[in-house]
Structure 1
Amino acid sequence: MIETLAQLLGFSQAALVTGFTVFLRVGAAMMMIPAFGEAGVPARIRLAAALAFTAIVAPMVDVPPASSLTDIALSLTLVSETVIGLVFGFGLRLFIYALQVAGSMAAQSTSLAQIFGASKDVDPQPAIGHLLVVSGLALAAMSGLHVQVALGFVQSYDVLPVGAVLGAGEAMEWGVARISASFGMAFSLAAPFIIAALIYNIALGVINRAMPQLMVAFVGAPAITAGGLILLFFSAPYLLSLWLEALQRYLATPLGG
């Protein structure tokens, strides 16, 4: 009986160490993962989601036993797992930033930047940016974001297993590449609005030169606003589908794996 209890105690201790090690990566990433890490989500819900993802991921990854590591190696492992989790979550959070920047570009181009649509808990955003972010989060959640995030966590251990140390040079190179890709995506999503605004301003300048007496600014302001809303109505589904495809492609190879 005592031997059985001793074996169960050893197994439970190993399981707790494994779960805690996985939780460090998952919990750190859960602070910034889209939908789960939003500012409006209560902390208890995020903690429950992190524990749920830990229970899913832990049986599918290989975690070395704590007894095989020295105290220094164990401390470095715990720190590196937290850093890797933050990097994983930051890579996903950049997709939300891309929607926010795209919405700001589109709003500035169509004279809708003065309309705010964010809550008081976060920085105010133009209505187009807020609409794109909320729609993108809903579309990602409907497309099985939780399953893709769980698989992304599992595949992240293939790229950076437990005990791997993320070098500063590699992290900087990866971060610069991801941030540049995020801004490139934002400009691509806002390109229809920027092109429409450019054509509108050129046409407005030609009309103003042809008829100086006409107050083209008063006539054209409602036109660009209405045109921006109509363009948003027709282009948003296609733009969000492109954004979702890029998000799923990133989750298929997390951390550039």
Structure 2
Amino acid sequence: MIPLQDSLTPLVADGLWQAFAVFLRIGAFVSIMPAFGESVIPTRVKLAIAFAFTLIVSPAIEVPSYATILLGDLIWLILSETINGLLLGIGLRLFILALQTTGSIAAQSTSLSQILGGAAVEPIPAMAYILVFAALALAVTAGLHIKAAALLIYSYDTLPIGQFPNPSDLSEWGLAQTSHAMSLAFTLAAPFVILSLLYNLALGAINKAMPQLMVAFVGAPVITAGGLFILCIASPLLLSTWLDALDAYLANPFGARP
């Protein structure tokens, strides 16, 4: 029994060290990733999800031996892996911010910006809540957890363990991701902006032709009903476009953006 314990001790130590090194990146990633890292998810549940991802990713990753790690190397490893995990999570979180921006633009264009605007920690209009929660449900149904695990495994090829990303490359990547998120947001909100433009043009023409008519009181229900109608019929296409963009990021998080 004693020889067996002596032979298992190094294996257990190596396994725990490898899980710890991988958990540093995964824990930071899970804390802000969509669906699994939302503020409504309890911290214990997030921790359990991070442990589950660690068990999946850890066998595929090769980490330096703990016997060669000094205190300075350990601190460097903790900092670098935490930052690398946050970078991957921020890239995904930008897609949620794009949907929130889409909902805000759509609500502002259709006079629905104040409905339930301050009902949560992040004061966004009801349209944004609908789009975000529908997108999260769609992403999870489409296998977000599987794609996220693959993203974490392949991220070690671009961001090796224990190494900080190049600052110049990081700034270019951040600028490209932010630009892509804003472009996606304005693209998804285009139907509502076009509706608002046509509505205001028509309202101006009616007001010019009939100055005595209170066109604002007559036209306000029209723009509200039109916005809800477009949300109903355009949401499947908007969410499908959003999911395609998310899948493109998960497949190549550091690739060039169109």
**Shorter-chain TM-score category?**
over 0.9
Map 1:8-157 → 2, pairs under 5 A: 8-116=8-116, 119-120=119-120, 122-157=121-156
Identity of aligned pairs, percent?
51
TM-score of the aligned structures, taking structure 1 as reference length = 0.95
CA deviations 1:131-175 (Å, max 9, x no partner) are 000100000011111111111111111111212221333222211
Deviation larger for 60-69 or 185-194: 60-69
Unaligned runs of 5+ in 1: none
> Structure 1, residues 87-107: CA drift from partner, whole Å, max 9, x if none?
111110111000000000000
Instruction: Tell me, in whole angstroms, the C-alpha distance in 2 between the residues paired with 1:23 and 1:66.
Output: 15
Map 1:1-12 to 2 at 5 A: 1-12=1-12
How far off is 1:119 after superposition?
4.4
The residue that corresponds to 2:157 in the other structure is: 158
Instruction: Give the 4+ runs in structure 1 shifted more than 6 A.
Output: none
TM-score norm. by structure 2 comes to 0.95
After superposition, the Cα gap between the structure-2 partners of 1:90 and 1:232, relative to the gap in structure 1 and judged at 3 Å, is: same
The AA in structure 2 aligned to 1:231 is I
Give the equivalent residue in structure 2 for 1:251: 250
Aligned partners of 1:10 and 1:256: how far apart in 2?
40
What is the CA–CA distance in structure 2 between the aligned matches of 1:223 and 1:106, rounded to whole Å?
15
Q: Distance in 1 between matches of 2:150 and 2:25?
A: 14
Aligned position for 2:175:
176
Residue pair 1:94, 1:182 contacting (<8 A) in 2 also: yes
Equivalent-residue separation in structure 2 for 1:169 and 1:118 (angstroms) = 38
Q: Does 1:198 align with 2:200?
A: no
Residue identity in the other structure for 2:219? G
Distance 1:33 1:256 in 2: 19
Determine the C-alpha separation between the residues in 2 that align with 1:114 and 1:82.
38
Aligned residues: 256
